[in-house]
Amino acid sequence: MAKASLIYEKVNFPLKVWISVFFLDSNEEFVIDENWQGLNIAGGFRVMANSSNGDHQTTTKPPPTPSPLRFSKFFQSNMRILVTGGAGFIGSHLVDRLMENEKNEVIVADNYFTGSKDNLRKWIGHPRFELIRHDVTEPLLVEVDQIYHLACPASPIFYKYNPVKTIKTNVIGTLNMLGLAKRVGARILLTSTSEVYGDPLVHPQPETYWGNVNPIGVRSCYDEGKRVAETLMFDYHRQHGIEIRIARIFNTYGPRMNIDDGRVVSNFIAQAIRDEPLTVQAPGTQTRSFCYVSDMVDGLIRLMEGENTGPINIGNPGCFPTLFLKDMMFVFKHQYAIDAIRRNLVSFLAILGEFTMIELAETVKELINPKVEIKMVENTPDDPRQRKPDITKAKELLGWEPKVKLRDGLPLMEDDFRQRLAVLKN
């Protein structure tokens, strides 16, 4: 569909080739000239005939049959897909899935800040795959039909490391990708986050909730950055008719997460394998919902291919009520937790029906290393106390719901971590 409109635009204006040149804060267009009749949409330009003398208008013969190569290029049903941040955790799994379809050509643009070529090693050299070292804060000129825009550090440790760069990535990076989408008529999907809900006062979070975000906190570069990115998506949609999709992703885990990524599931698994104490950040009663990466990729592709702009929550609302008693005992053994409960009733209510970090630690301990210790450590500012997606919209509009339970997903991740850490299971 996007390709069809691209072809239409290029072929039906033979005397002019319009090129959009995207500047950081504006999209400006200028005309190359009437000497160029056509554009090779495979990338780069090709002059196919010179019409400035008007020769073709005087001839009575039908025009020569164009090269079959040209037609195959124009009319093939292949999709060319750009994945920004494709060398990262979710991005590389998305690339695997997109590459399974022989009609897809995939271009990855990544600056390798938190991603790695290693995640894509099986595709490097493949004729339908291209990897570009590129920072999305700079404009990118490629010809594509779809853009999955994932580029952004996702672990709080990494996005807080250089907050100014994080906000530039979210704002300027998204602006650049929207400029690209506008120039080539591509559909664009943004991977937003459940962090747009901040420390939510509504629970679970539906897409209609506007959030409770600290605009000046240490996490703001990320959560406010993503909120602006969402705003830009909708402004380009309303103002320029760009086809947009917004996924609000909730905590996702799986193989290929950075071992020292700092996120809770990867931390606990690496710690359990290394025989180090599992570090539960106080109070430990904060809740999250964990979605296995294959489910996430499935949701993202359905959103891209479907007819809804979103935003749509994609996450796994599952919880573990069976661990409730154990959880309570752990909480009451720790002064931190008791203080937190006294201070805030929400933290206490969280443990009644939700999946807490203590439960996660207990689950990892049980599945991976029953001898490992669990210890309570200091938390970081503005850590959301509760988070769980309302996925009604994803179910109804995308026919999507997660399939992999945490207890099945954790061992798959363990295998990958053991291989990379070179530690065999006893």
Ligand X SMILES: O=C(O)[C@H]1O[C@H](OP(=O)(O)OP(=O)(O)OC[C@H]2O[C@@H](n3ccc(=O)[nH]c3=O)[C@H](O)[C@@H]2O)[C@H](O)[C@@H](O)[C@@H]1O
Residues annotated as catalytic are: 222
Q: How far apart are CA 30 and CA 269, in angstroms?
A: 54
Binding mask 291-330 for ligand NAD (x = CB under 6 A): ----------------------------------------
Please list every residue from 285 through 324 that binds ligand X, using CB under 6 A. 286, 288
- Is residue 386 close enough to count as binding ligand X by CB under 6 A? no
- Is residue 269 close enough to count as binding ligand NAD by CB under 6 A? no
Please list every residue from 10 through 69 that binds ligand X, using CB under 6 A. none
Q: Are 220 and 160 in contact (CB under 8 A)?
A: no
Please list every residue from 58 through 87 that binds ligand NAD, using CB under 6 A. 84-85, 87
281 binds, among ligand NAD, ligand X, none (CB under 5 to 8 A by kind): ligand X
Say how many C-beta atoms besides its own lie within 10 A of residue 377's C-beta: 12
244 binds, among ligand X, ligand NAD, none (CB under 5 to 8 A by kind): none
- Is residue 193 close enough to count as binding ligand NAD by CB under 6 A? yes
CB 227 to ligand NAD: min, Å? 12
CB 295 to ligand NAD: min, Å? 12
C-beta of 252 vs 369, nearer to ligand NAD:
252
- Is residue 112 close enough to count as binding ligand NAD by CB under 6 A? yes
- Is residue 220 close enough to count as binding ligand NAD by CB under 6 A? no
Binding site for ligand NAD (CB under 6 A): 84-85, 87-91, 110-115, 135-137, 150-154, 169, 173, 191, 193, 249, 251-252
Question: Contact residues for ligand X (CB under 6 A)?
Answer: 154-156, 193-195, 249-251, 263-264, 267, 279-281, 286, 288, 357, 379, 383
